[in-house]
A = this chain, B = another copy of it.
Amino acid sequence: MARAAEMQKAVFGGAQASELERSGGADPLRIPRPYLLFLGDETNPGYAKSAFGIRDWAAEDCVGEYSYGDSTLTLGLPEMTPQVAAQHGAKALVIGIANSGGVILEAWRPHLIAAMDAGLHIVSGMHARLGDVPELAEAARANNVRLIDIRRPPANIPIASGRKRSGKRLLTVGTDCALGKKYTALAMARGFEARGIDVDFRATGQTGILIAGGGIPIDAVVSDFEAGAAEMLSPDAADGHWDIIEGQGSLLHPGFAAVSVGLLFGSQPDAFVVCHDPSRTEVLGYPGTPLPDIAEIIEATILLGKRTNPAIRCGGISLNTKSYDAQEAQALIEETARRYGLPAADPIRGGPHFEALLDSCLA
């Protein structure tokens, strides 16, 4: 994890500065660190992807984790109260879990207030604004700490122009939410960097923004401006430069397709990688709704994506094999590569399959 944090600095150092300038110094880009990661009483790891992501990619910035009630969920970090975390140097409590709808649960309030009483700022990636909850606003005032909503998009996002930009772009897409689009983008940025390629990771969600220190919370953007936000996120760049853009949702998702489509149109990707979890058969949170096939996602991505980049192509498949042992994972990866005639790899496992995926995307 220390290595991941080092790599993160190498990869994102430049991106942080440019994002900060571009945003006009908006609050989301000045997040006090290190963090205490708040898990609520969540038990489903699928809803704690923010916490896991920060742990894995910004480990040096994590002092500990904090949950309440019957939660069996753990990040493997030291469990500590806000008060103890503050004594260990924590500067902010980060809400590391999400729920459908992005609401700040009433049950969280006493815990967030306790954190503020301990002197911690509160950082949230939820749709709902922390400051709209009167008790939280009052506690922030009383303790002179900040309520930081990283889901607040920058002002003045334009309507997309559709103009083709210079530089190269890669977008991670997926068969569902929460199955590895951010991880894949982060790992590929690291892989490109290791090959000496000029690359920026472009964050589109709360965790990515916390890791990278900048980006646009793309699903919080008004739909008319969605593609325009994606254009803003990856501006013109040098010819050999790559932006690796964190995908969101899925083109075929019953709730979030609009987010994915706007991001695709505005990103104008030269290459995309389809992220998939072979253990998942239904859309997360939508029982009875079958997961689309990888081939359907490729078809839809090319059909739509070629409108703003006629050269769009699928670079390969990223499999999330965390539910499998090494041998099963290897077999799944090879079977998937054969079935779709494309490189397949689990970027977290790395190895020659992953190098082949990088080769294919750069080809």
Contact = CB atoms under 8 A, between A and B. Distances in A.
Nearest to A290: B307
Contact of A224 (B102, B286, B292): B102
Contact of A221 (B222, B251, B261): B222
Interface stretch (A20-28, A154-162, A185-193, A270-278): A154-162
A221 B162 CA distance: 21
Interface string A226-258: 111000000000000000000000011111111
Given A259-B223, A259-B258, A292 B265 contact: no
A219 B223 contact: yes
Given A102-B224, A223-B222, A224-B219, A262 B254 contact: no
A18 interface: no
A158 B101 contact: yes
Nearest to A255: B160
A223 B228 contact: no
- Nearest first, the 7 A-B pairs at minimum CB distance are A258-B262, A162-B254, A226-B258, A219-B224, A160-B255, A223-B223, A261-B261
B223 A218 contact: yes
A258 B265 contact: yes
Nearest to A156: B101
A304 B257 contact: yes
B160 A254 contact: yes
Interface of A: 100-102, 127, 158-162, 218-224, 226-228, 251-259, 261-262, 265, 283, 286, 289, 292, 296, 299-300, 303-304, 307-308
B223 A289 contact: no
Contacts of A258: 223-224, 226-227, 258-259, 261-262, 265
Contacts of A262: 223, 257-258
A141 to B, nearest CB: 25
A284 to B, nearest CB: 12
24 contacts: A100-B159, A101-B158, A102-B224, A160-B254, A160-B255, A162-B255, A218-B223, A220-B224, A223-B226, A223-B262, A224-B256, A226-B258, A227-B256, A251-B261, A255-B265, A257-B262, A257-B304, A258-B259, A258-B261, A258-B262, A258-B265, A292-B307, A296-B303, A299-B303
Contacts of A162: 254-255, 283, 286, 289
Contact of A307 (B220, B254, B259): B254
Nearest to A227: B255
A96 B191 CA distance: 53
A307 B175 CA distance: 12
B257 A265 contact: yes
